[in-house]
Amino acid sequence: MPETQIENPVIEKRITLGVISDTHGLLPGPCRWWKRTTQRPIHGPRKRPCRPPQTASPRWWRKASSTSSADMSPAREGSTIVAAGGYTNSGSTGDNEGYSASTNTWKTLAADPTARQAGCSAAISGLLYFAGGSGGSNGTSPLSVNESFSATTKKWTTLRSMPLAVIGPGSAAVNSLLYCIGGSNNGGLFLGTVYNNVQIYRP
């Protein structure tokens, strides 16, 4: 019998991690075992077909609710997920909350001095960094303000502002740097100028 050809990249990734048996249900038809060190079959095909995967199906869970606001800027500080800012029926807000996954509870934290939404945020070295976003009652005014929040001291600190005020950028922390990617100068849908630049902040 010819060797089974594997083309699915997901399957290939699983193979490189170790030994796969037919209980995973990854290979069509008769199953083979593969080993990382040899990358070739070390057992012949089974006599029975592969079974369906035995792992649990992907799913979503609903947990305890926070305050009713949109466009919050979350990041994890230690065991707490901090969600700062956002937008309510009254406009941009400085509300700041912390969520504990172990207890499934929220607690109120020190409010952001700058009410805003849709900012660039990430956790670096135990601090939440929150830059840019939009403020005002209609949420369409771009901001360049940059602040950090410490869940330990429960205080906000004003930092060096962004070179370009921006709303809704993508954000990530890489090598202790805050990356703010793209965004626009207007919080309205399909309004204003859309940016393709990257702004990087080093704490």
42-82 pLDDT per residue, tens = 445 444 444 545 566 788 878 888 776 777 888 888 888 89
Across the chain, mean pLDDT equals 77
Return the pLDDT at 56: 67
| Confidence check: pLDDT of 161 > 50 | yes
Return the pLDDT at 54: 58
| Confidence check: pLDDT of 18 > 80 | no
Residue with the bigger pLDDT between 46 and 147: it is 147
Tell me the backbone φ, ψ of residue 22, rounded to 5 degrees: -70, -10
Return the pLDDT at 169: 93
Residue with the bigger pLDDT between 64 and 125: it is 125
Mean pLDDT of 184-198: 83
Residues whose CB is less than 8 angstroms from the CB of residue 169 and which lie 6 or more positions away in sequence, other chains included: 119, 120, 132, 180, 181, 182, 183, 195, 199
Return the pLDDT at 36: 44
104, two tokens: 């499934």
Mean pLDDT of 27-37: 43
Q: Which CATH number fits domain 73-201: 2.120.10.80, 2.60.120.10, 3.90.340.10, 2.60.40.10?
A: 2.120.10.80
Cβ burial, residue 192 (10 Å; 0-12/13-18/19+): middle
Domain boundary assignment for the chain: 8-55, 73-201
Smallest Cα–Cα separation from 30: which of 12, 11, 50?
A: 50
Task: Give the number of other CB atoms < 10 A from CB of residue 146.
Answer: 23
Return the pLDDT at 147: 97
Residues whose CB is less than 8 angstroms from the CB of residue 14 and which lie 6 or more positions away in sequence, other chains included: 20, 24, 26
| Confidence check: pLDDT of 133 > 80 | yes
Return the pLDDT at 2: 46
Residue with the bigger pLDDT between 202 and 45: it is 202
